[in-house]
């Protein structure tokens, strides 16, 4: 157990729908990162939050949004889903400089 | 922004042989270079990392080297075992986490160790 918890583990939904993925960071970590992993694109950085505020943005589509709540958990919202959004979505967290970045076990999203 | 290239994409070795995976990065400001191992159905797991003030780091059978001038770093696994079979990712970031930076990954290397 890495200490980073992601729910749900699996999600199957239809095109056009909206889903929410949840991440609880390792205890004490203030930063949360979201990554998308697809077969042909590897791990793509989507967005980073630090202590509730957006810190950096990567290749995140406008249909996707995220937020980090006062208890530091984060949610990634994916809307108007397309078949191409099917992927593994990972959350990572980081805190002090000794531990670097820790990943959760991911949410597998399948859009049908 | 940062771009990380990783080679080879697949690597097959005999048990007991060494394996080497190489990465190059583009942003000279990057100062943290971790390596992750990902097994099927699991999230990436940190196996070793190196910071830009160090040229080499070793942890048992795993070592990482960094050449800041050439902007490349490599993972070396000696005496490979079947349980080393997995996908390995290199990454680079400016900063070591916390409020700083975010990891940019290479596309991964699928390592197969044949018994």
Which residues lie below 8 Å from residue B66, measured CB to CB, with a gap of 6+?
B33, B50, B52, B54, B55, B56, B72, B73
Across the range B62-70, mean pLDDT stands at 95
- Go through B45-61 and write b for each residue having 16 or more CB atoms within 10 A of its CB, e for each that does not: ebbbbbebeeeeeeeee
Q: What percent of chain A has pLDDT above 70?
A: 95
Residues in chain A with CB shorter than 8 Å from the CB of B104 are 45
Residues in chain A with CB shorter than 8 Å from the CB of B101 are 56
Greatest Cα pair distance in chain A: 42
The reply to whether residue A33 touches residue B102, judged by beta carbons under 8 angstroms, is yes
Q: How far is B97 from chain A (nearest CA, A)?
A: 5
Across the range B69-73, mean pLDDT stands at 95
Can the peptide bond before residue B8 be classed as cis, meaning omega within 30 degrees of 0? yes
Please check the confidence at residue A99 and state whether its pLDDT lies above 70.
Answer: no
The answer to whether the beta carbons of residues A67 and B1 sit under 8 Å apart is no
Q: Return the pLDDT at B97.
A: 63
Please check the confidence at residue B98 and state whether its pLDDT lies above 80.
Answer: no
Measured from the Cβ of residue A104, the count of other Cβ atoms closer than 10 Å reads 28
The answer to whether the beta carbons of residues A32 and A68 sit under 8 Å apart is yes
Residues in chain A with CB shorter than 8 Å from the CB of B106 are 42
- What CA–CA distance (Å, rounded) separates A78 from A64? 5
Which residues lie below 8 Å from residue A62, measured CB to CB, with a gap of 6+?
none
For residue range B72-94, list pLDDT tens digits in order. Answer: 999 999 999 999 999 999 999 88
Nearest to A56 by CA among A20, A92, A104: A92
Return the SS3 of B91: strand
Q: Return the pLDDT at B2.
A: 87
Binned at pLDDT 50, 70 and 90, residue B96 comes out as: low
Q: How far is B70 from chain A (nearest CA, A)?
A: 24
- What CA–CA distance (Å, rounded) separates B70 from B66? 9
Q: Return the pLDDT at B46.
A: 92
For residue range A19-68, list pLDDT tens digits in order. Answer: 999 999 999 899 999 999 987 678 999 999 999 999 989 989 999 999 99
On average, the pLDDT of chain B sits at: 92
Nearest to A50 by CA among A94, A18, A3, A5: A94
Please, what sign has the CA dihedral across residues B80, B84, B89, B95?
Answer: negative
- What CA–CA distance (Å, rounded) separates B42 from A30? 23
- What CA–CA distance (Å, rounded) separates B44 from B101? 18
Please check the confidence at residue A97 and state whether its pLDDT lies above 80.
Answer: no
Across the range A76-99, mean pLDDT stands at 90
The reply to whether residue B103 touches residue A45, judged by beta carbons under 8 angstroms, is yes
């Amino acid at each position: 157990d890495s200490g980073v918890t992601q729910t749900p583990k699996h999600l199957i939904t239809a095109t056009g729908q909206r889903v929410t993925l949840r991440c609880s960071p390792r205890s004490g970590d203030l930063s949360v990162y979201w990554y998308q992993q697809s077969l042909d694109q590897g791990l793509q950085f989507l967005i980073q939050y630090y202590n509730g505020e957006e810190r950096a943005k990567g290749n995140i589509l406008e249909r996707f949004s995220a937020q980090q709540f006062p208890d530091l958990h984060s949610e990634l919202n994916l809307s108007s889903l397309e078949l191409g959004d099917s992927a593994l979505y990972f959350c990572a967290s980081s805190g002090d400089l000794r531990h670097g970045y820790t990943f959760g076990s991911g949410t597998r999203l399948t859009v049908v | 922004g940062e771009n990380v290239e990783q080679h080879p994409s697949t690597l097959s070795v005999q048990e007991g042989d060494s394996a080497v995976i190489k990465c190059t990065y583009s942003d000279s400001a990057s100062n943290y270079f971790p390596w992750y191992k990902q097994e099927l159905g699991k999230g990436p797991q940190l196996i070793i990392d190196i910071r830009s003030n160090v040229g080499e780091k070793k942890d048992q059978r795993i070592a990482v080297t960094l050449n800041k001038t050439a902007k490349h770093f490599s993972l070396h696994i000696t005496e490979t075992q079947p349980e080393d079979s997995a996908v390995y990712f290199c990454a680079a970031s400016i900063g070591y986490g916390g409020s700083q930076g975010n990891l940019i990954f290479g596309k991964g290397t699928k390592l197969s160790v044949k018994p």
